[in-house]
Amino acid sequence: MSNIEFKKQLLEWRHYLHKYPETAFEEVKTSAYIAQELQKMGLEVHENIGTTGIVANLTMGDGKGVIGLRADMDALNLNEVKDLPYRSKHQGKMHACGHDGHMTTLLGAAQLLSTRRNFNGTVRFIFQPAEEIGKGAQAMIEDQLFERFPVDEIYGLHNMPGLPAGTIHTKSGPIMASEDNFVIRIKGKGAHSSSPHMGVDPFVIAAEIILALQTVVARNLDPLQTAVISCTEIQSDGIRNAIPSNVEIKGDTRSFTPEVQKLLEQRMKSLCEGICAMHGAECEFDYTHEFSPTINWDKCNEVATLAAKNIVGVENTNSDGTPIMASEDFGKFIEKIPGCFVFLGSKVEGEEVIPLHNSMYDYNDEIIEIGAEFFAEIIKLRLAKE
């Protein structure tokens, strides 16, 4: 396949996947399409792992090394606004995070490696469902992913609209945060809005709690550590002229270590219960762990850095990039298995930056080949022929 034919194939894959988005654990047609394309390349394909996930194997020579490459598959529940020739055909669903580009990048790497055959060992191409809700990696793990398909190391990437197109950014240690969700239920006593003294106003208590939670990061966390506490939803059972009996606050926290996660949970619970008790209200506090932090392994970061330098050049490689507080369930894979996650810049100079999870977002097709070559280079480095 010529370079022109390869680029044409990448566009065909990406635009098809963009046109038919499917959300978490519903990636049935997406999965079938990917499996079909991988089988055309001669790969050994295993389907329905962790519901809709795929593992495709490619082995060359007698090498014992096994490297995993991963892409996420799910779309978002957003209505696409941009008028594209390959605009989403599924109303209310679109690839607004670039997973269509990630899948295409991994398909491209499979095409390059199956054609070049320049390695000695096994590559596992892992297409993961349900990243957006933080459940897909765990679903595949629970379906015995690594027992059935052991890997020595695993690598992944995510496009980043705010970074210059064609640049690759990585780092050792934390690169993306955990996400923990919380629900605070305040039970007061309803009353007529004209007679607040006859009730216990859960809205006033909620306001105090929302402000108090911000002191956890400001006054309980080591200033050299990083965390975010965000209250994002508030609901009540009241009406305009009635003080409610119940108020519910929802939100999430972001951090990089289990120790900080534990501190946040404990201090938040203590504050909520204490403030409610002070006002004579009852409190229920639920705290759940949704995404693990993504913490790159040192040796894998070295591999990713070298691969990036070989593909995009030293000047376009940042081996000590800035971590972000967003979350990615790739972190679940590398809690025990060595791995590295990188950011692939997609920003075009002079053009407006459309952020991820925006209904106008569209993947930059120009960076797909770079991502595919980067993945292929990792395999060349880690499974080098002797």
Inter-CA distances, 225 with 37, 260, 342, Å? 45, 8, 22
Q: According to DSSP H, which parts of 117-173 are helical? A: 136-142, 145-148
**18 assigned binding-site residue:** no
Assigned token pair, 363: 């993947």
Chain centroid offset of residue 292 CA: 10
What letter would DSSP give residue 243?
Answer: E
**46 assigned binding-site residue:** no
**15 assigned binding-site residue:** no
Burial grade of 219 (CB within 10 A; 0-12, 13-18, 19 or more): exposed
Cβ contact 137:332 at 8 Å: yes
Chain centroid offset of residue 164 CA: 20
The helix or strand, by DSSP H or E, that contains position 72, with its residue range, turns out to be strand 66-72
**Helices and strands in the chain, H and E counts:** 10, 16
Residue 374 to residue 377: CA distance in whole angstroms: 5
327 Cβ contact list (under 8 Å, min separation 6): 134, 176, 177, 178, 179, 254, 290, 291, 293, 294
**289 assigned binding-site residue:** no
The identity of residue 281, as a single letter, is A
Residue 52 to residue 143: CA distance in whole angstroms: 11
**158 assigned binding-site residue:** yes
**Cβ count within 10 A of residue 259:** 11
Q: According to DSSP H, which parts of 49-135 are helical? A: 99-116
Residue 47 to residue 64: CA distance in whole angstroms: 24
Please enumerate, by residue number, every residue annotated as part of a binding site. Answer: 97, 99, 132, 158, 357
Binding residues for Mn(2+): 97, 99, 132, 158, 357
